Amino acid sequence: MSDQEIQDLRRNYTKGELDESSVSDHPVDQFGVWFEQACKAQLLEPNAMSLATSTSQGQTSLRTVLLKGYDRHGFNFFTNLESNKSVDIQSNSNVSLLFPWLSLERQVIINGQAESMPRSEVLKYFVTRPVDSQIGAWASSQSRIITTRKLLEMKFDEIKRKFSGGEVPLPSFWGGYRVI
């Protein structure tokens, strides 16, 4: 595709303007209004958000994670604590979140600092996950190269057998962050 063809990709935005008189006084309350609208519009994963991090040397990285809760204290997500995103956050806690609700002609950007969530809150969320997702947290070495998918599947099956018939414990290397 030529540059001109790319430049010609455009549409008219018709969803309306932001009426400042109808905006909530608190930004998190306004986010809640917009988040409910995104959910009611049946967007594919309205809780999907891009998370931008940066290393201590300033190298940026971006990936999609899922919002798992929010309130006036911050926006929560969970991950493997050995992942690249966690390593970045541990050395530079400044992050940005982007909710790209494109079909609503809206995007929400949140800039803040990511702080580790208490283990009690992480456990409270972890036990609500489907068992296969809990096992996946044990099996997946996020941000690490695997030689074959078969090895990952074998590790998953091994862990599934190990915890069969009982609760899957919270891995020590799995946690949550709150962006404040």
* Confidence category of residue 147, pLDDT binned at 50, 70, 90: confident
Q: From the centroid of its chain, how far is CA 39?
A: 16
Burial of 40 (0-12, 13-18, 19+ CB in 10 A): exposed
Residue 9 forms part of a structural domain? no
Quick one: pLDDT at residue 145?
76
On whether both 86 and 144 belong to a single domain, the answer is no
pLDDT digits (tens, 9 = 90+) for 64-92: 999 999 999 999 999 999 999 999 999 99
Residue 13 forms part of a structural domain? no
Residue 3 forms part of a structural domain? no
Residue 174 forms part of a structural domain? no
pLDDT digits (tens, 9 = 90+) for 4-34: 998 989 888 887 677 788 899 999 999 999 9
On whether both 43 and 73 belong to a single domain, the answer is yes
Residue 123 forms part of a structural domain? no
Quick one: pLDDT at residue 111?
98
The average confidence (pLDDT) of the chain is: 93
Tally the domains of the chain.
2
Report the candidate in 15, 85, 11 with the shortest Cα–Cα distance to residue 50. Answer: 85
- DSSP state letter for 76: E
Which amino acid is located at 47 in the chain? N
* Beta-ladder partners of 98: 50, 109
Give the residue from 117, 143, 160 where a domain finishes: 117
Angle of helix 149-162 relative to helix 131-139, nearest 10 degrees?
Answer: 120
How crowded is residue 142: how many other Cβ atoms within 10 Å of its Cβ? 15
Whether residue 79 contacts residue 174, with contact meaning beta carbons closer than 8 Å, is answered with yes
């009982």: which residue's tokens? 166
Task: State the Cα–Cα distance between residues 60 and 54, nearest whole angstrom.
Answer: 4
pLDDT digits (tens, 9 = 90+) for 155-173: 889 999 999 988 999 999 9
Whether residue 43 contacts residue 103, with contact meaning beta carbons closer than 8 Å, is answered with yes
On whether both 92 and 46 belong to a single domain, the answer is yes
* Confidence category of residue 58, pLDDT binned at 50, 70, 90: very high
Residue 39 forms part of a structural domain? yes
Beta strands in the chain (DSSP E): 48-54, 60-66, 69-71, 74-80, 94-101, 106-116, 174-179
Range of the domain at 147: 129-169
